[in-house]
Chains A and B, each alone.
Chain A
Amino acid sequence: MAIALVLVLVVVGSVLFHFLSPWWWTPIASNWDYIDNTIIITFWITGVVFSAVVLFMAYCVFRFRHREGNRAAYEPENRRLESWLTVVTAVGVTALLVPGLFVWSRFVNVPSEAADIEVVGQQWQWSFRLPGKDGKLGTSDTRDVTSDNPLGVAPKDPNGQDDVLVEAADLHLPVGKPVKVLLRSIDVLHDFYIPEFRAKMDMIPGSVTYFWFTPTRTGTFQVLCAELCGQGHPLMHGVVVVDTEQDYQAWLGQQQTFAQLSAPQQTGSADRRPGETTASGPDIAAKLETVEAR
């Protein structure tokens, strides 16, 4: 008997928790409110199903509990009922799937006006690269990573010379302009995730992945790594600042290009073979030590 009451309480409690509890998603800051809407649809459909099934069960337990002299009905199956339930379920599932697939096709098709930016993950920090004046990112290769070239930009590629490098610092983005985020890693899997933007994607060493979004409001947002990348994983925070166009240009003016960063050391690095120690090594080793010290 108690169980029937508890089943009702589970439904009521879950629904109340859903509407009254303070824990909900962060205010959105990108164009992916489509995703939020799909989640809302999913919540409604699944919520109704959950409540219906559990409440029906509670009713059955209450109504058909064992009493002296009771005997169960004999009903091996009911084709009509089963067919109906199958059809209704299929309709419900389709109602979830179709909007989801439409939004997904928006998600994977990047608008042509989106500006490329590159995010490079390494244990355990974020770096960024912007295309510079020519609007093109130079090619890159993990094998080109050296102390002077921690992001592995191909030194010979002319497109890469004017690329703006933001190493282990904050990234700024102009509000309202779509960006295509190209994701790259030079060691293990990472995942570039900003909860307010809703979008995320793994970064895989050896290949370039992508997603796109349009920031819709200015502000400062925390970057989290969402793919386990070793013991520094929870410390791998970064910052993305969404600026007005003016502020963005001011910030961009202060950044250095690949050519500027590598020019003074050019002679020193000419005979350096790939495979030798790079500058970021000690930094990371120090980081690892602090992680271990905790």
Chain B
Amino acid sequence: MVDVTPADAVPPAEVGEVELYHPHSWWTKYVFSQDAKVIAVQYSATATAIGLVALVLSWLMRLQLGFPGTFDFITPEAYYQFITVHGMIMVIYLLTALFLGGFGNYLIPLMVGARDMVFPYVNMLSYWVYLLAVLVLVSSFFAPGGPTGAGWTLYPPQAIMTGTPGGQDWGIILMLSSLILFIIGFTMGGLNYVVTVLQGRTRGMTLMRLPLTVWGIFTATVMALLAFPALFVACVMMLLDRLLGTSFFMPAIVEMGEQLQHNGGSPILFQHLFWFFGHPEVYIVALPAFGIVSDLISTHARKNIFGYRMMVWAIIAIGALSFVVWAHHMYVSGMNPYFGFFFATTTLIIAVPTAIKVYNWVLTLWRGDIHLTIPMLFALAFIVTFVNGGLTGLFLGNVVVDVPLSDTMFVVAHFHMVMGVAPILVIFGAIYHWYPKVSGRMLDETLGRFHFWVTFLGAYLIFFPMHYLGLMGVPRRYAELTDMTIMTESAHHLNSFISIMAFIVGFAQMVFLFNLIWSIRHGREAGGNPWRATTLEWQTPETPPAHGNFGKELPIVYRWAYDYSVPGAKQDFIPQNVPGTFGPSREPT
């Protein structure tokens, strides 16, 4: 029954050894390192640091919304700067960078069985350009006029006009430059992630044996490589409009009583370019989260992911479809209204593969052996918030329902739930899951549970009621909600409640940070494979994995990534690099 294929029966030559980079000094080992694992930690640390800035900004804006008129230092100007930089950081500099630059760098080489990324030098450059982009963004706080306050969508004409903070100062210039740098840096990294999955896989690691985490990150990276150029084009053209007086996006305009020199440009053109990037961006953040959460659920429920093939096809389908739905962000933008029919249809079609993914996560739990570890708790919370946010997406995607709801707090609640809270819960789950591999120690359990409960319930209490403010008609991006006839007194109280919850949830993140730092030295020793998982990153000879990942010999893969609780096997998991045939229903190989 057990048919062991000895390793030496495998034709030896087809995987050539990579020329491994060897650091010579402390600087090249820890700072200018070309090791993907070090780069991953650098990416993650930078993204977390800038994420803290975004967290503080969100507190400041919630202060203003929850307690209007109480804090004099929050002028409308400052408020718009807060929301703009908060949104930009969260979407691009935190979520994109952390999922692809952080998790991608750490997990791809380990999970596909490679020693490192295929172009380590370019990979290192990617991080340093990203850091530069972050620094340029931060520098706008110290520039005259402060950062831009144009909203994260940066819609022209207002983004480059006097009435907007930073529009005629340095703010918008630094913002656009920072984005251009980010895109250049990301492209360098993205090439690595894609080509490593294509060419760096170890023997036996076919595409259908890849863990879904790799599938998610891989597809998201391909999408990002094709979508970010649209943002690049939009940024370059807007920069020219602002600095050299061209009229790509700027029509004839009377500003403060003055006729501007621009003529004939099209603000809608910018919106098309922006959302051609912006919608795939949602899935660039979501797909890695989908992949990671699939692996978390499977590992901690001790059961193979239900419908693996469907999950892979759904990832590919979502990736492809997400390029033809961009104009659902523009239903009331004044574009040709007949586009609405097309884009509403494509948008609702994309709900089908997404729903299949949700069903398969839940069906993986069915008849599983569910260990309620912290990663599992976060995965469950992800499903709740993602289903909630995904379903409100059906409101906004359905063109006519979007008409009253667009640009209200409903939209804010929706996208925070679906691409803010949900992916971040996955990030937390993933950190609790892989921290033992990165550091060799477990994160503290008690602090972790406290962090989980406050974050999950708090975030739900923030964003669920917020939908109803939007339904009431409260617009988003209002620095003050005074003199609004539609807002009842109780709606203002609801806003104060939301603000208080926001502070509490933010505080819980400090506990998490403390846990991260404290556990490096004081956490429980983890061992090589504390979750008894099957994928290759848990099978490394050392923990944390040494440079080169797998010691002398690269692992050979004999099975898919989800052999949990296989009948006939002694343990309830079989690592991917263990040879042999198990299970009653299997075809002999």
Contact = CB atoms under 8 A, between A and B. Distances in A.
Direct contact of A and B (CB under 8 A): yes
Interface of A: 1, 3, 6-7, 10, 14, 17, 21-26, 32, 34-35, 38-39, 42, 45-46, 49-50, 53-54, 56-57, 60-61, 64-66, 70-78, 81-82, 85-86, 89-90, 93, 96-97, 100-101, 103-105, 107-108, 122-124, 141-143, 145, 147, 152, 183, 186-189, 191, 193, 195-196, 198-207, 209, 221-222, 224-234, 237, 274-282, 284-285, 288, 291-292, 294
A141 B254 CA distance: 11
B525 interface: no
Contacts of A32: 403-404
B304 A53 contact: no
B66 to A, nearest CB: 15
By CB atoms of chain A within 10 A, which of B341, B352, B404 has the most? B404
A10 to B, nearest CB: 6
By CB atoms of chain A within 10 A, which of B264, B368, B371, B566 has the most? B368
A101 B150 CA distance: 33
A276 B76 CA distance: 29
Nearest to B481: A234
B394 A233 contact: no
A192 to B, nearest CB: 10
Nearest to B356: A86
Nearest to A21: B468
A206 B265 contact: yes
Contact of A278 (B254, B388, B392): B254
B276 to A, nearest CB: 18
Contacts of A278: 254, 257
Contact of A57 (B77, B259, B383): B383
B45 interface: no
Given A97-B344, A195-B472, A278-B254, A54 B387 contact: yes
A232 B479 CA distance: 9
B368 A89 contact: no
B340 A108 contact: yes
Contacts of B304: 74-76
B583 A227 contact: no
A45 B393 CA distance: 13
A86 B333 CA distance: 33
Given A57-B365, A188-B161, A189-B157, A10 B460 contact: yes
Interface string B476-489: 01111111111010
A32 B405 CA distance: 13
Contact of A207 (B254, B334, B377): B334
Contact of B158 (A26, A74, A207, A228): A228
Nearest to B302: A72
Contact of A25 (B399, B457, B473, B479): B473
Contacts of A105: 341
Contact of B372 (A1, A188, A280): A1
Given A82-B310, A108-B340, A198-B403, A21 B565 contact: no
A222 B268 CA distance: 27
Contact of B403 (A42, A70, A200): A200
A74 to B, nearest CB: 5
A172 to B, nearest CB: 17
5 contacts: A86-B352, A101-B399, A226-B408, A229-B158, A284-B257
B372 A230 contact: no
A26 to B, nearest CB: 5
A228 B380 contact: no
B348 A123 contact: no
Contact of A53 (B362, B372, B407, B486): B362
Contact of A231 (B165, B348, B351, B564): B165
Interface of B: 75-77, 80, 149-151, 155, 157-158, 161, 163-165, 167, 251-259, 264-268, 301-304, 306-310, 332-334, 337-338, 340-341, 344-345, 348-349, 351-352, 355-356, 358-360, 362-363, 365-372, 377, 380, 383-384, 387-388, 391-392, 394-395, 398-401, 403-404, 406-408, 457, 460, 464-465, 468-469, 471-473, 475, 477-486, 488, 490-491, 494, 562, 564-567, 572, 583
Contacts of A42: 394-395, 398, 401
A276 B468 CA distance: 46
Contacts of B167: 230
By CB atoms of chain B within 10 A, which of A50, A97, A193, A294 has the most? A97
Contacts of A60: 362, 365-366, 368, 370
Nearest to A94: B348
Given A25-B471, A64-B365, A200-B406, A231 B164 contact: yes
A229 B163 contact: yes
Nearest to A108: B337
Contact of B392 (A46, A56, A82): A46
Contacts of B151: 228
Contact of B157 (A6, A7, A97, A205): A205
A50 B387 contact: yes
A128 B362 CA distance: 54
Given A3-B372, A237-B483, A202 B400 contact: no
By CB atoms of chain A within 10 A, which of B155, B254, B349, B388 has the most? B254
Given A74-B565, A108-B340, A203 B334 contact: yes
A71 B369 contact: yes
Given A103-B400, A195-B486, A222-B484, A71 B572 contact: yes
Given A10-B384, A201-B332, 11 more contacts: A3-B377, A17-B464, A42-B401, A64-B301, A72-B301, A73-B367, A82-B359, A122-B254, A205-B251, A222-B485, A281-B257
A96 B399 CA distance: 11
A276 B256 CA distance: 11
Given A42-B394, A85-B359, A228-B477, A64 B367 contact: yes
A51 B75 CA distance: 42
A209 B565 CA distance: 61
A225 B415 CA distance: 21
A60 B301 CA distance: 11
B401 A39 contact: yes
A16 to B, nearest CB: 12
A41 B334 CA distance: 26
Nearest to B393: A46
Given A14-B464, A66-B370, A74-B304, A142 B267 contact: no
Q: Considering the complex of A and B, which 5 residue pairs feature the smallest CB-CB distances, nearest first?
A: A281-B257, A195-B473, A206-B251, A230-B163, A209-B334
A292 B332 CA distance: 30
